[in-house]
Structure 1
Amino acid sequence: MTVVADRIARLRALMAEKGIDAYVVPTADFHQSEYVGEHFKARKFITGFSGSYGTAVIGKDDAGLWTDGRYFFQAEHEMEGSGVRLMKMFVGDTPSVTEWLASYVPKGGKVGFDGRVLSMGEGQEYEEALTKKGIQIDYSEDLIDQIWEDRPPLSDKPAFFLEEKYSGESASSKLKRVRKVMEEQGATVHIIASLDDVCWLLNVRGDDIDFFPLLLSYAIVKTDSVDLYVDETKLNDQILAEFAKVDVVLHPYNDIYEDIKNLSENDVAMIDPMKMNYALYKNIPCKTVECANPTILMKAMKNPVELENIKEAHIKDGVAITKFMYWIKTRYDKEVITELSAADKLTSLRAEQEGYIRDSFEPLCAFADHAAMMHYSPSKETDVQLKEGNLFLNDTGGGYYEGSTDITRTFVLGSINEELKKYFTAVVRAMMNLARAKFLYGCYGYNLDVLAREPIWELDLDFQCGTGHGVGYLANVHEPPTGFRWYIVPSKNEHHQLEEGMVITDEPGIYEDGKFGIRTENEFIVRKGTANKYGQFMYFETITFAPIDLDGIDPQYLSKAEKDWLNDYHKQVYEKIAPHLTDEEREWLKTYTREI
């Protein structure tokens, strides 16, 4: 029996004691964060699957893990021998979690979960789907905690204040904007449970989640003050002084569940069903008005100070990536370089840049067939050496005071066959097609996604994930409410039209299980173009600058417009990055930014 299978057996024994037929374990903390701290990695603990997205359901005699196409290969590999079946979301007739529960659990049976790690919206879906089948819901038990003997504690790392030269707007101004929305909605209080929204609103950051500079906290915004639920020992004198300016009242982190019950019956609470946990929602005693947290759109539309800072962060990041590419391309055949040592090298190069804080997500450095797993991250058990004749994909990012970055480059090591070159070129064409888009204001990401998919669909291929996502400012690297995909996934919260000032990634790819993976990713800013009788035209300003490996490009597949774009892009890369390089690196860069 594997370690995971043993854990599942112990969980099932506990479920039997509690009369629970199926127990749900999502990938979440108490704040519906996409990535979570070590304390909250319950789904990984009970399935072995380490990806960032997925929900496990453990039944009496069956178990499943629901995740999307980014993780199919990885999940099957990591869960081997666990007894947990992979349930491929959005593929064929795979039932949803609620559909499976409704068919699996008998009438009169019980479904359990920790209500703090399930969103309000999901909890309501469970209620609707299960109670009409005569199935009970118990959201009061954290059963995983009862079998996880050495569970990591909650983080106690210190927070820091993000000064206005970086944020571009004071907390006072942001609160004024939020309170205006509250007034429009007829709300007297606004309950915020999502970490990035709390941190953005109060211009504070933390270190409670690996790679994500966020602070475990909840906020209740009132008309004249803010109740903040946080571990006060994390806050320094500067933060306390800034909080005093906007009447922030501090409370212990976990007290919100009881304090929320003390809201007046005359209060009206503005809440976001996708950004609040089910247990917190069930404790609200007053009338509620449901809408998206106004901070979601506010923080997605970066202000001029943020945008200039972000562009500066990308120059720093481009220097690190270019130096990294030079190091890989000139050294892989002269010394032992592995996926892990390459990741460490890139982190060290980023750390040389002024203003660097930490990587913005776990480095995804994948050689050869490992790159077929879209979100593969190397470990000591899987680490391999980089060798000639294949591709090395690196999807990484840096977190700087000037903002967060997300970039993917695929490097050719030695020579590759013509088929791989064709695929490599198609991916670059796909990225360029979207980057070159001009469109009318009012378009959504799903209106434009086909531009990136077309060169890949022409080959009768596809990539089973979105094409791009919003990027937060020193916050979540995946930021709603906008992204690129050809279909709408409500849980992704990416169905808002493209607005000026949004920062979004453009990252198409081709992945063949057991063979290779190719991805090229840049970021761009949504900008306003010409306004005329037809409306407001929009375009994308590319802000990522690092070479695209010309060793993988076959020019016969490029149109003149595509060659012109790529040549102009590489000209900008050289102009912006070369001044920060050594003479030897600069000469090398001339070759890898040459015109084709």
Structure 2
Amino acid sequence: MNVPERIAKLRSLMEEKGIDIYVVPTADFHQSEYVGEHFKARKFITGFSGSAGTAVITKTGAYLWTDGRYFIQAAKQLEGSTVELMKMGEPGVPTIHEFLVDTLPENGVLGFDGRVVSMGEGQDYASIAAQKNGKVIYEYDLIDQIWEDRPVLSEEPVFALNLKYTGETVASKLSRIREEMKKAGATAHVLTTLDDICWTLNIRGNDIEFFPLVLSYAVITMDKVDLYINEAKLNSEIKADLEKDGVVLHPYNDIYEDIKKTASDEVLLIDPARLNYALYNNIPEGVAKVEERNPEILFKAIKNEVEIENIRKAQIKDSVAHVKFMKWLKENVGKMTITEISASDKLDEFRAEQGNFIRPSFEPISSYGEHGAIVHYTSTPETDVELKEGGLFLTDTGAGFYEGSTDVTRTYALGEVPQIMKDHFTLVAISNLSLANAHFLKGCTGMTLDLLARKPFWDRNLNFNHGTGHGVGYLLNIHEGPAGFRWQFRAGEIQPFEKGMIITDEPGIYIEGSHGIRLENELLTCEGEKNEYGQFMYFEPITFIPMDLDAINPDMMTAEEKKMLNDYHKDVYEKVSPYLDTEEKEWLKTYTREI
């Protein structure tokens, strides 16, 4: 079946069930950012393969909402699909909420699979339906009924993360969580988010694309943890360790029936943004609920000393791999055939040489020339192009090492490139360095500091259509809340920076049909001087890879900006050169020279 045929079959099922509009998000049962193959329902029904987007199917139309990272990619992939692209945040484009309010008929029925829709979203849909004197139907996974060769749920084994990597025992983490439960007046805490569960129990797996997570649910009480998981994934040693920490195992899907049996005197701590709608609706009406952000969110964002030291090691490994890759790329482009995919594979070869490499930490972005302007471009055999001199190559990739996850972007000039590309590259470097060198008072958020990255762009009436940075999980989600850099207000995303947070710094510029440039380092949040004005904070870059001097226009830079770049390159050489041979050291010396 092609996409129009799939949509036609879906509409037949909608008619059969009395559904006027059906919503298909990019989600699994756990609100994961990336999902396993089984859960790629939105890709199946639209043909769009990006990691973020929501499809809305009506009786006469089909629509896909996605953000600025994917506008170019989505436009191409939706050609001939009958699915209309809705560019989120663009003038004249309604939000999904606004569209549903306008489109759902009086007495209409809004349908979705309640397991893949968050509690908050589901309540919003129910409110819209109520306004039209209609209702929601959330019991049906209609995509499953038309997806004949749907992949099965992952059965990959679980592995335990040793204390030398986590820096904290399961018992200690549970104790901290239970203290927060007591503060909230809760007797039980329902968890569906995989990174929160894996962090709490010091386990990892291979059930989610790129992120080493395990399909599971958990209910934490004051004396035990009910873990809902496919028990076949656990070896005897892991089972024994979990049992010592009071973990009781249950079949994965049993939580939906078990939650219906919750005693009336229980008080459940739940996170509306991170609990699916179906599970929420299975909680008996008389059970009291405390709706707060999962305490694990902030706990895991603030890395402990063991995690930080491990992350430093992971970053050095990745920096060494990148330096070797940069040298190889610049010396071989034009002399041998190098494509987007083969370049990405080569970088992972250099990573594997560093030891303890598990796999890429997210879907690699390896883009040459005009592909670089597609913010979240993924090279495929159909789009894979050869890298040639005279253009820019952008690589935004990450590594999952046992010592932690990395997220790094570099853009390289291949041979001599046009002046406009050098000017744009220099602008991005100035932006990156300006943010990395921030000194600020404790209490500042990403909304406060994002201006440092945007100002060089806004001064020139330019901008980039994505956030400037995000938190990074420790072998968990590569995009980790609650802190990050962005200039727009978003409710629930205002989190002051705390000592121990790891944040990315990744401004960029994207010229459709020509080139894209992004430079991304990871920053460690540190405490500086404390005086009568308060606690001052600063960022310490922990990624050490040259910003390609072949693409820098020094004439655009102030003396202060040149000093920031020179100081950074001095650190790059000091941190990375001990891991290089004599020839590589000399090469690195050239690419970290003072300007």
State the alpha-carbon separation in 2 of the partners of residues 315 and 445 from structure 1: 26
Q: How does 1:34-113 map to 2 (within 5 A)?
A: 34-113=33-112
Q: Secondary structure at the match of 1:86?
A: strand
| Equivalent residue number for residue 156 of structure 1 | 155
| Equivalent residue number for residue 193 of structure 1 | 192
C-alpha contact 1:66 1:97 (8 A) present in aligned 2: yes
| Equivalent residue number for residue 342 of structure 1 | 343
State the alpha-carbon separation in 2 of the partners of residues 513 and 131 from structure 1: 43
State the alpha-carbon separation in 2 of the partners of residues 496 and 532 from structure 1: 23
| Equivalent residue number for residue 215 of structure 1 | 214
| Equivalent residue number for residue 29 of structure 2 | 30
| Equivalent residue number for residue 303 of structure 1 | 304
State the alpha-carbon separation in 1 of the partners of residues 124 and 92 from structure 2: 19
Q: Secondary structure at the match of 1:116?
A: coil
Unaligned ranges ≥5, structure 2: none
Q: Secondary structure at the match of 1:498?
A: coil
| Equivalent residue number for residue 509 of structure 1 | 508
Do residues 443 (structure 1) and 444 (structure 2) align?
A: yes
C-alpha contact 1:524 1:542 (8 A) present in aligned 2: yes
Q: Which amino acid aligns with 1:126?
A: Y
Q: Which amino acid aligns with 1:8?
A: I
C-alpha contact 2:109 2:129 (8 A) present in aligned 1: no
Q: How does 1:493-572 map to 2 (within 5 A)?
A: 494-572=493-571
| Equivalent residue number for residue 418 of structure 2 | 417
| Equivalent residue number for residue 372 of structure 1 | 373
Q: Which amino acid aligns with 1:419?
A: I
Q: Secondary structure at the match of 1:124?
A: helix
Quote how far apart the aligned CAs of 1:93 are.
2.9
| Equivalent residue number for residue 276 of structure 2 | 277
Count of paired positions: 593
C-alpha contact 1:468 1:507 (8 A) present in aligned 2: yes
Q: Which amino acid aligns with 1:381?
A: E
State the alpha-carbon separation in 2 of the partners of residues 349 and 4 from structure 1: 39
State the alpha-carbon separation in 1 of the partners of residues 154 and 494 from structure 2: 33
After TM superposition, the runs of 4+ consecutive aligned structure 1 residues lying more than 3 A away are none
C-alpha contact 1:216 1:230 (8 A) present in aligned 2: yes
State the alpha-carbon separation in 2 of the partners of residues 127 and 22 from structure 1: 13
| Equivalent residue number for residue 455 of structure 2 | 454
C-alpha contact 2:358 2:401 (8 A) present in aligned 1: yes
Q: Which amino acid aligns with 1:16?
A: E
Deviations 1:202-257 (A, max 9, x none): 10001101210000000000110000000111112221122012110000000000
State the alpha-carbon separation in 1 of the partners of residues 575 and 321 from structure 2: 13
| Percent of paired sites with the same residue | 59
State the alpha-carbon separation in 1 of the partners of residues 337 and 106 from structure 2: 60
State the alpha-carbon separation in 1 of the partners of residues 317 and 176 from structure 2: 33
Quote how far apart the aligned CAs of 1:488 are.
2.2
| Equivalent residue number for residue 390 of structure 1 | 391
State the alpha-carbon separation in 1 of the partners of residues 105 and 356 from structure 2: 57
Quote how far apart the aligned CAs of 1:582 are.
2.8
C-alpha contact 2:351 2:357 (8 A) present in aligned 1: yes
Q: Which amino acid aligns with 1:238?
A: E
Q: Secondary structure at the match of 1:57?
A: strand
State the alpha-carbon separation in 2 of the partners of residues 586 and 362 from structure 1: 31
| Equivalent residue number for residue 323 of structure 1 | 324
State the alpha-carbon separation in 1 of the partners of residues 420 and 46 from structure 2: 37
Do residues 593 (structure 1) and 592 (structure 2) align?
A: yes
C-alpha contact 2:71 2:87 (8 A) present in aligned 1: yes
Q: Which amino acid aligns with 1:553?
A: I
C-alpha contact 1:161 1:238 (8 A) present in aligned 2: no
State the alpha-carbon separation in 2 of the partners of residues 127 and 256 from structure 1: 23
Deviations 1:321-368 (A, max 9, x none): 111111111101100000010111111111111211111111100000
Do residues 7 (structure 1) and 14 (structure 2) align?
A: no
| Equivalent residue number for residue 230 of structure 2 | 231
| Equivalent residue number for residue 290 of structure 1 | 291
Quote how far apart the aligned CAs of 1:159 are.
0.7
Q: Secondary structure at the match of 1:151?
A: coil
Q: Which amino acid aligns with 2:292?
A: C
State the alpha-carbon separation in 1 of the partners of residues 129 and 533 from structure 2: 49
State the alpha-carbon separation in 2 of the partners of residues 542 and 345 from structure 1: 25
Quote how far apart the aligned CAs of 1:105 are.
1.7
Q: Judge which range, 557-566 or 478-487, deviates more.
A: 557-566
Q: Judge which range, 276-285 or 239-248, deviates more.
A: 239-248
Q: Secondary structure at the match of 1:173?
A: helix
Q: Which amino acid aligns with 1:164?
A: L
State the alpha-carbon separation in 1 of the partners of residues 459 and 82 from structure 2: 39
State the alpha-carbon separation in 1 of the partners of residues 328 and 168 from structure 2: 39
| Equivalent residue number for residue 17 of structure 1 | 16
Quote how far apart the aligned CAs of 1:494 are.
3.0
Q: Which amino acid aligns with 1:23?
A: Y
C-alpha contact 1:116 1:278 (8 A) present in aligned 2: yes
Q: Secondary structure at the match of 1:216?
A: coil
| Equivalent residue number for residue 429 of structure 1 | 430
State the alpha-carbon separation in 2 of the partners of residues 350 and 11 from structure 1: 44
State the alpha-carbon separation in 1 of the partners of residues 383 and 259 from structure 2: 46
C-alpha contact 1:99 1:129 (8 A) present in aligned 2: no
State the alpha-carbon separation in 1 of the partners of residues 592 and 4 from structure 2: 52
C-alpha contact 2:110 2:125 (8 A) present in aligned 1: no
Q: Secondary structure at the match of 2:133?
A: coil
Deviations 1:135-177 (A, max 9, x none): 2200000000000001111000011101111001001000000
Q: Judge which range, 386-395 or 90-99, deviates more.
A: 90-99
Q: Secondary structure at the match of 1:260?
A: helix
Quote how far apart the aligned CAs of 1:579 are.
2.0
Quote how far apart the aligned CAs of 1:296 are.
0.1
C-alpha contact 2:65 2:86 (8 A) present in aligned 1: yes
Quote how far apart the aligned CAs of 1:489 are.
3.0
TM-score by length of 1: 0.98
Q: Secondary structure at the match of 2:327?
A: helix
Q: Secondary structure at the match of 1:56?
A: strand
State the alpha-carbon separation in 2 of the partners of residues 195 and 296 from structure 1: 11
Do residues 484 (structure 1) and 482 (structure 2) align?
A: no
Q: Secondary structure at the match of 1:480?
A: strand
